[in-house]
Structure 1
Amino acid sequence: MDFDANIADTLIKLFAAWLLIAGVAYWANREGLGLSKKMLIASGRGLLQLLALAFVLHWIFDIQSHLAQAALIAGFCILAGHNSASHQDGARTTWIACAIGLICACLVTLPWLAVTGSISDDTRTLVPLGSMIAANGMNAISIMFSRLKSGGELGDGLKTAMIPTIDTLRVVGLVHMPGIFVGMVLAGASAIDAAVAQLIVLYMVVTSSFTACLITFLMMNHLNKRKA
């Protein structure tokens, strides 16, 4: 009986949160912005993907091999690269360039942080951080592509792509209380330890996003020249 009550309570919470998306989608539809369908489809995909992840996460965290960890993170980068490439031309060379850019972003940050002891080298740490790099890098690349398609130069694209991450870093602790900081504090960690962990992640995101954008652009130029 308690199990059924917990499921019902969970579904009510999810539905209440989803109504926010539904309301915004309706508003966007009335304004003729062409975003409603994308919002609703993305909300459904997000639900299914997160539920699937919840079911397999304990198996993922049992992984001990660094090679398997790297393969899993590379998979995140490949999938994220495909999404970013769709904001440019969807070409295979663009997809490859994006994936390489994101993988390089992981290589620049994760090994250094693990070797210096800033983060642990276990799967429970590396895989979630790798997914964060892939997701934030994907967003930065997509913003860069949008700027480039509107006629901007590489410098303009990089500046625009880095605005969200740099702004987050600028206002952290003043306007923004990030999830890692809040989660650690609620879990009983000291505020100093939570702040240090959050800053490590923010520094990682800024560095990896810039690296992903720059390497992606350079790889696109290289691959396009070879193709020509």
Structure 2
Amino acid sequence: MGHDVDVSINPSLQLVGALLLLLVLASVASWLGRWGFVPALLRAGARAVVQLLAVSFIVVAAISHVWSSALFVLAMFIVAVYTTVRRVESTRTWQWSALAMAAGVLPVLLIVFLTGTAPFDGYALLPIGSIIVGNMMTAHTLGGRRAFPELRAGISTYEAALSLGFPRRDAIRLVLEPIRGEALVPSIDSTRTVGVVTLPGAFVGVLLGGGTPLQAGASQMLVVFGILAGQAVTIVTMDALIERALLLPPDLKERLRP
């Protein structure tokens, strides 16, 4: 005989207690590691609570229409760009960061909806769009935090390449060659181990919503492949913009002169 499973989590004192304990655990780990992240963790936790409460009501209103869902995804994209350029200190070249992220987001959404794989409505656009945008932000942040320190450490290699007659673009590529594509490694690992190491949200959500195992697997494959493809495009676009000295923090803009 089957059993009804209710995994819904309702607002309660138990939830408040669990959230506080989890935040304390993260803060203690940060303190033990001497990372200096405790204030940032506490601020992030407080913001998450406020934002999720507010967004929950907005999502309910937005998801029933394509236009409002599209505006919501656009707002997410703007926040994602703002967040990642601050993280990698490229706020002055934010437009190029936006281009790199959009290069990953748009083709994925076009493929998903133009092929008819998902219905073009708010109930599909909002969750799929938000997942893809969030992962493009992650790819950009990982790419920047790996590439920019590498360029700072490799200034002597860059200058040596210039002295040998290399164009600036080729000199930058030479410095970045050892770490090219590393930002894609977490996504590749996640794709390789999906269903073995983790049961992702889309998969579990479809199952708990009454879908069949095949439907759950199909939904998750669409998400995983979309993330992998989008991040690959975002990273290769980002690399091209960095090599052309368009997407750089101010200090590297000054130091990487032709």
TM-score (normalizing by structure 1): 0.85
Identity %: 26
Q: Is contact 2:187–2:227 with CA below 8 Å preserved after alignment?
A: yes
8 Å Cα contact 2:143-2:182 kept in structure 1: yes
Offset, 1:207: 0.7
Is 1:147 paired with 2:138?
A: no
Give 5+ residue unaligned stretches, structure 2.
1-8, 152-174
Distance 1:147 1:208 in 2: 19
Q: Does 1:202 align with 2:203?
A: no
Query: 1:150 offset after TM fit, Å?
Result: 2.6
| Pair 104,72 (structure 1): closer, same or farther in 2 beyond 3 Å | farther
Q: Cα deviations across residues 167-213 of structure 1 (Å, max 9, x unaligned)? A: 11101121111111111111211101100110011000011112222
CA distance in 2, matches of 1:224, 1:136: 19
Residues 46-69 of structure 1 deviation map (CA, whole Å, 9 limit, x = unaligned): 11111111111121113233xx54
Contact preservation (8 Å) 2:101, 2:140: no
Question: 1:115, CA displacement in angstroms?
Answer: 1.2
**Inter-CA distance 47–154: structure 2 relative to 1 (3 Å threshold):** farther
**Greater Cα offset, 33-42 or 202-211:** 33-42
Which residue number in structure 1 is paired with residue 82 of structure 2?
82
Residue number in structure 1 paired with 2:25: 23
Is the Cα–Cα contact under 8 Å of residues 106 and 208 in structure 1 kept in the other structure? yes
Partner of 1:98: 97
Deviates more, 1:151-160 or 1:78-87: 151-160
Deviation larger for 168-177 or 211-220: 211-220
Match of 1:36? 38
- For structure 1, list consecutive stretches of 5 or more residues without a partner in the other structure: 1-6
Displacement over 6 Å in runs of 4+: none
Q: CA deviation at 1:116?
A: 0.8
**Structure 1 counterpart of 2:137:** 138
| Cross-structure match for 1:4 | none
State the secondary structure of the residue aligned to 2:87: coil
Greater helix proportion: 1
Q: Which residue of 1 aligns with 2:207?
A: 185
Distance 1:219-1:73 versus aligned 2 partners, 3 A rule: farther
Cα separation, 2, equivalents of 1:125 and 1:182: 16
In 1, Cα distance between equivalents of 2:69 and 2:58:
15
CA–CA distance in 2 between the matches of 1:101 and 1:45? 27
Please say if residues 76 and 133 of structure 2, whose CA atoms lie closer than 8 Å, have aligned partners that are also in contact: yes
Residue of 161, 164, 168 corresponding to 2:186: 164
Bigger Cα Rg: 2
Distance 1:91 1:23, change over 3 A: same
